[in-house]
């Protein structure tokens, strides 16, 4: 045991970095397990759309949406979700809802807002449309 104490005393910066990394990993695991949404990959999204009648919500800007979106995606801005303006989604609170943005980061906030609003099955496309494009999945171009 004395060797460990000596090591930590002689390598204080390395020891603090190691403790910080351990804490960060533990916090990430806890956050993932307690999140109100689940992250899914593009293949899982296609299965959800085809088998479970999942709804894709695209939260990017109107121009980005027109440049290319997932087939049958519903365009809703994050501000509308935050204010509780869900439109036609109100009737789909029990159905799977997948929130999509460009990178997957903005979708997390929107997914949390949907879960707080009572949506039971909320998902986020991991890495957003970047992962969708990397998987060579199709996009619909033009106005919905």
pLDDT at 41: 93
CB of 93 closer than 8 Å to CB of 118: yes
Q: Fill in the DSSP letter of residue 103.
A: S
pLDDT at 136 over 80: yes
CB of 110 closer than 8 Å to CB of 57: yes
pLDDT at 60: 92
pLDDT at 57: 92
CB of 43 closer than 8 Å to CB of 135: yes
* Averaged pLDDT for residues 77-98: 84
pLDDT at 143: 56
DSSP for 28-82, please give it.
Answer: HHHHHHH-SSEEE-HHHHHHHHHHH--EEEE-S-HHHHHH-B-TTPEE--HHHHH
Q: Please report where in the chains the tokens 């919905």 appear, as a residue.
A: 144
Q: Fill in the DSSP letter of residue 124.
A: E
* Averaged pLDDT for residues 78-96: 83
Phi-psi category of residue 136: left, alpha or beta, with phi > 0 → left and psi -120 to 50 → alpha: left
pLDDT at 94: 84
Q: Tell me the pTM.
A: 0.75
Determine how many CB atoms are found less than 10 A away from the CB of residue 73: 21
pLDDT at 92: 81
């Amino acid at each position: 045991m004395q060797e460990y104490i000596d090591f930590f005393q002689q390598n204080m910066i390395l020891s603090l970095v190691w403790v910080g990394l351990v804490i960060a990993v533990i916090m990430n695991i806890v956050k993932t397990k307690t999140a109100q949404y689940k992250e899914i990959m593009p293949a899982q999204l296609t299965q959800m759309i085809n088998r479970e009648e999942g709804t894709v919500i695209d939260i990017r800007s109107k121009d980005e949406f027109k440049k290319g979106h997932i087939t049958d995606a519903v365009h809703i801005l994050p501000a509308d979700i935050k204010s509780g303006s869900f439109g036609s989604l109100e009737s789909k609170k029990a159905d799977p809802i997948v929130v999509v943005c460009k990178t997957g980061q903005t979708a997390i906030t929107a997914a949390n807002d949907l879960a707080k609003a009572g949506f039971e099955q909320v998902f986020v496309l991991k890495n957003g449309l970047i992962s969708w494009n990397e998987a060579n999945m199709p996009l619909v171009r033009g106005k919905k």
